[in-house]
Amino acid sequence: MPEPAPAPRARTTPPADATPGTTPDITPDGSTDGTSAPDRRSSTVLWIACAAQFMVVLDVSIVNVALPQVRDSLGLSPAGLQWIVNAYTLGFAGLLLLGGRLADLIGAKRAFTSGLAAFTTASLVCGLAGNGPLLIAARATQGVGGAMLAPATLTLIMTTFTEPRARTRAMGAWSAVMAAGGAAGAVLGGVLTQYAGWRWVFFVNVPIGMVLVVAAVRSVPVGQRPRAGRRLDLPGALTVTLGLTLLTYGIVATETHPWGAPQVWAPVAAALALLTAFAVIEARTAQPLVPLTILRRPVLVLANATVFALGAAMFAMWFLLSLYFQQVLLWDPLRAGLAFVPGALAIIAGARIATRLIGRTGARPLMVLGTAVSTAGFGWLSQITADGSYTTDVLPPFVLCTLGLGLATMPLTVAATAGSRPEEAGLASGLVNTSRQVGGALGLAALASVASHTAASHGGPAAQAATAGYGRALLAAAAFTTVAALLALALPGPRAARG
């Protein structure tokens, strides 16, 4: 039997006007308005949520190192190979907002287990796929399952850990796991591809997913029942999902088509029309998918915009460095994967530092510091050369990029979800995850296009041309993190928040 939960405090959730500059339940010296250790069930919920989030984020990057083997095994064209990555991104980014709202409407536990079951089943189909179309379709289904699962993990944490210090630590662990998933995916993908074959980058999810489903059914509490009369805003869900999907599709198309091509501007124009329709629907419906009043919170809007800009830079970094290691330095998948280990460690270190300091500094200084450190790292990393040394030319700036990501991620999540009522937890989670994933998808497509066009116009040897493209794209990533730093700086400080 689990130990009895501690008696609730008088105030267990941040007030509606909470801001990241104050982190209202945490005093300047790091103490809180009460202390209570989470019981064993809470610790189990945290473990389950973090493991599931790690698996979802892992699948964004684990496939990159395996792509050459997939191409040779299934006889895919370059365009088909590209869609193995993009099908997952489209399904994931396009449905995250809907997935977050589902957690509020049907309950976090049901959304979590349903998304996890869909993700695990799709992973099995990916590993068994004998042709490109089936693999691409299964990858899209993986993305749909991940879109239900990812917001539910954060919702479970927000509704399980109500005491301020416990919630801060839990969100720190979630943020570290989420941020390290990208780097760990490259490492694990390299090991599995080298020694077990590309199919195991998908099969590895199956036993993990099965264990997590059983653990969630047994250990995750049902939580509050959804209020009677609540229903899903289907018109809003359809317009925002199709709009985000078409926007991502249009940007992805720039890798193979110029910006003026119909394959690019037609889906982008349709996406803008659908997103405009979504705003009109949300303003008029009685039970909107995204109440527009939530967008009147400056902290939430600025924090999500910062998450978007930071995600645009970071997703591209994993992809570009993976190509640089294998196509320019001619490393095998295992060596390329191991090169990302220091980045994963730096992310975890940054997240731990942020978790310890946020009670004394508030969220804003850590966000500004983290994004500034990442900007310096990207500026340095953009100077890579075709005959560069990993130890001197790549490792130091790479560690700066990832350390900054670790410092900024947890405070950004705190800021983006501050002031959310329990019935809005899934929506707030969906918004921050949507900002991160859509930013990553659009940033990856845009920066890959920069790299491709720069390399094509270089005119030198292939390795030098490719490196010039990667360098230009990484410099553009520094511009994204600069924007993130400026947005973080614009967030209200402690004095303004109190006013």
pLDDT digits (tens, 9 = 90+) for 368-406: 999 999 999 999 999 999 998 999 999 999 999 999 998
Rounded CA separation 430/152 (Å): 8
Strands (E), 65-198: none
Class of domain 40-221+289-493: mainly alpha
Rounded CA separation 491/368 (Å): 10
pTM over 0.85: no
Distances in Å between the alpha carbon of 205 and those of 51, 193, 223, 234, 344? 11, 15, 27, 31, 20
Along the 499 residues of the chain, how does pLDDT read in single tens digits? Answer: 444 444 444 444 444 334 333 333 433 333 333 334 446 778 888 899 888 888 887 877 788 778 878 888 998 876 677 778 778 877 887 777 777 777 777 888 888 999 999 999 999 999 999 998 999 999 999 988 988 888 888 788 877 887 777 877 887 787 777 766 766 777 888 888 888 889 999 999 999 999 999 999 888 887 655 555 566 778 888 888 888 778 878 877 776 777 788 988 999 999 999 999 998 998 888 878 777 777 778 888 888 899 999 988 988 888 889 889 988 998 887 888 888 889 888 988 998 899 888 888 888 899 999 999 999 999 999 999 999 899 999 999 999 999 999 899 888 888 877 766 666 666 777 788 778 877 887 788 788 888 888 988 887 788 899 999 999 999 999 999 999 999 999 887 654 343 3
Q: Which two tokens stand for residue 401?
A: 């990029």
pLDDT of residue 113: 92
Q: Which two tokens stand for residue 103?
A: 């957690």
Question: Domains of the chain: which residue ranges?
Answer: 40-221+289-493, 234-282
Helices (H) and strands (E) in the chain, counts: 18, 0
Dihedral angle sign, alpha carbons of residues 80, 84, 88, 93? negative
- Count CB-CB contacts under 10 A for residue 268: 18
Residues 6 or more apart whose CB falls under 8 angstroms from that of 391 comprise: none
pLDDT of residue 458: 82
Please tell me the total number of residues recorded for the chain in this structure: 499
- Count CB-CB contacts under 10 A for residue 24: 21
Distances in Å between the alpha carbon of 41 and those of 38, 47, 218, 277? 8, 10, 10, 43
Round to the nearest angstrom and report the end-to-end CA distance of the chain.
46
Rounded CA separation 373/397 (Å): 10
By three-state DSSP, how is residue 32 classified? strand
Identity of residue 398: F
Residues 6 or more apart whose CB falls under 8 angstroms from that of 357 comprise: 366
Rounded CA separation 137/120 (Å): 14
Say if CB 155 and CB 108 are below 8 A apart. Answer: yes
Closest of 179, 178, 241, 182 to residue 46, by C-alpha: 178
Say if CB 185 and CB 57 are below 8 A apart. Answer: yes
pLDDT of residue 288: 82
Q: What is the DSSP letter of 390?
A: I
Distances in Å between the alpha carbon of 280 and those of 112, 141, 216, 289, 391? 30, 29, 38, 12, 53
Identity of residue 148: M
φ, ψ dihedrals at 32, nearest 5° = -125, 180
Closest of 429, 440, 432 to residue 152, by C-alpha: 429
